[in-house]
Amino acid sequence: MIQPSIIVHSGAGYFPDERNASKLEVTRSAAVVGWETLLRQDNVLDAVEAAVRVMEDNVECNAGFGSVLNSAGDVEMDAMIIRGKDLSTGGVGGLCQISNPISVARRVLEKTKHCMLAGQGALEFAVREGFPIVSNESLVSPRAKIMLEGVLSKNIAPSTETGSCITKSSVEEKSLGTVGAVAINCRGEIAAATSTGGICAKMPGRIGDTPIPGGGTFCDDQNCGISATGLGESIMRVCLSSRIANFISNGMDPSTACLTALNSMTERVGGDGGAIVITKSGVLAHAHNSRKMTWASVSGDGELRSGVKAGEEFVTHVVVSK
Ligand code: ASP
């Protein structure tokens, strides 16, 4: 019998150590909210959506409020959600003026015959579906503004750093804050979701790997669910999550599959990142070849595991709220 479980991440890359605690806090809360939703509603889509929304609402993450800015100073967000049972897929690209892009992505999955809507068409769909429209300025955090100024003034390569201590080296380290979640229930149904503001100082109109099935997000009950994070232009080129899934279906253990695919991406096209996985038999795994990736998982009777650096793992227990 498979144990209902969830694993989440809030981005791979580099951020200063003083942010570890706050990143861990939001990531753990997202895992707990997702797990409680899973137990209450026994619906894997509900679970990953709920977990991702917690992180979209938190300024520590590069998704929803707190998204990094494009070169024009605007927020443009990508998100994707996939149900592994029937491969139903919903995504949005370049979405503005919406607080929780993952919920619009889910509506694309449920209400349209398409897999992804982008830009103005995505926004008009969200309006028709009754999502609240907010001003784009209300999604802009002070940290995201400082980050953009730092990147533009130093005229360095676009990055997804959202850190408060903006130094040249921290910008160059390209900290990432994309968020994602994968959940499985006792019947082996899996869902995966990813949401992002993309990379800082990207060209307006740029869409990354997040809403590309097999790129930043993958889910198939016959194999596994995956959410990936890292430099989108690299992830897309190597179809990262699809590669990880292929390694797993060929019998590789899921952490090794993630690391092998990430390292071969870095070698072939540059960039780095991380991924979280749940296999069809309920094995949870995560790996990154970036300096850090904040992750958290809840499984079994409420065992909460989390970490930031490779090899680091904190274990506590969730007190289930009534
Ligand atoms: N993969 C995202 C993108 O390139 C960034 C991230 O993972 O932080 O849009």
Distance CA 63, CA 53 (A): 9
The predicted model gives 105-128 an average pLDDT of 98
Average pLDDT, the chain: 92
Q: What is the pLDDT of residues 70-85, one digit of tens each?
A: 999 999 999 999 999 9
For ligand 1, atom 4, which residue shows the shortest CA distance?
A: 232
Residue 165 has pLDDT above 70, yes or no: no
Q: Which of 231, 293, 294 to mutate to test the pocket of ligand 1 (most atoms within 8 A of CB)?
A: 231
Q: Which of 9, 194, 209 to mutate to test the pocket of ligand 1 (most atoms within 8 A of CB)?
A: 209
**Look-up of token digits 């360095």:** 156
Q: 208: annotated binding-site residue?
A: yes
Contact 66, 163 (CB under 8 A): no
Contact 82, 89 (CB under 8 A): yes
241 Cβ closer than 6 Å to some ligand 1 atom: no
Q: Which residues pair with 196 in a beta bridge?
A: 78
Give the ligand 1 atom nearest the CA of 178.
Answer: 8
Q: What is the pLDDT of residues 246-290, one digit of tens each?
A: 999 999 999 999 999 999 999 999 999 999 999 999 999 999 999
Q: What is the pLDDT of residues 167-212, one digit of tens each?
A: 434 433 445 689 999 999 999 999 999 999 999 999 999 999 999 9
Distance CA 33, CA 28 (A): 9
The predicted model gives 149-158 an average pLDDT of 73
Closest C-alpha among 30, 184, 262, 216 to residue 105: 216
Q: What is the pTM of this model?
A: 0.94
Residues noted as catalytic: 178
271 Cβ closer than 6 Å to some ligand 1 atom: no
Return the percentage of the chain with pLDDT > 90, whole number: 85
Domains and CATH numbers, the chain: 5-317 (3.60.20.30)
In degrees, to the nearest 5, what angle opens at C-alpha 108 toward C-alphas 102 and 111?
135
Q: What is the pLDDT of residues 118-129, one digit of tens each?
A: 999 999 999 999
Exposed/middle/buried for residue 189 (C-beta within 10 Å: 0-12, 13-18, 19+): buried
76 Cβ closer than 6 Å to some ligand 1 atom: no
Give the ligand 1 atom nearest the CA of 230.
Answer: 7
Give the ligand 1 atom nearest the CA of 13.
Answer: 8
How far does Cα 150 stand from its chain's mean position?
24
